[in-house]
Amino acid sequence: MDTSIKVLIVDDFATMRRILKNVLKQLGFKNLVEADDGTTAWEILERQQIDLIIADWNMPKLTGLELLKKVRASALHKTIPFLMVTAEAQKQQVLEAVQAGVSNYVVKPFTAEAIDNKLEKILK
């Protein structure tokens, strides 16, 4: 797994962004960028080369699902791996994310091992 890639962490809770950053640092990732909602994330995507998006589902302005759909509809960004990290565990919502093109899905609360396993699958 290439840990030199640039990862965009999108969550409206600073604590969750910090937890994800700590987990990613433990896994060897150093190039981490943060956004507090989908709108800010999109602005970052338009300005920087991003190699992986890890986003929460429930956020103000632009949800994780809406961000995912926007990324998949963009010729420039559609191939970026997208990991959804969310408390939404209902089958219908997982299905909705899969249909929108999510690369993988992690339900909160999660372990560092769960994040590692999902990233191994989508970054190989």
How many structural domains compose the chain? 1
Joined tokens for residue 5: 């890639």
Q: How far apart are CA 98 and CA 40, in angstroms?
A: 23
2-43 pLDDT, tens digit per residue, is: 999 999 999 999 999 999 999 999 999 999 999 999 999 999
CATH of the domain at 56: 3.40.50.2300
Tokens read off for 88: 């939404």
Is the residue at 36 inside a domain?
A: yes
At residue 86, the pLDDT reads 87
Is residue 1 situated within a structural domain?
no
Dump pLDDT digits (tens) for 43-92: 999 999 999 999 999 999 999 999 999 999 999 999 999 999 988 778 89
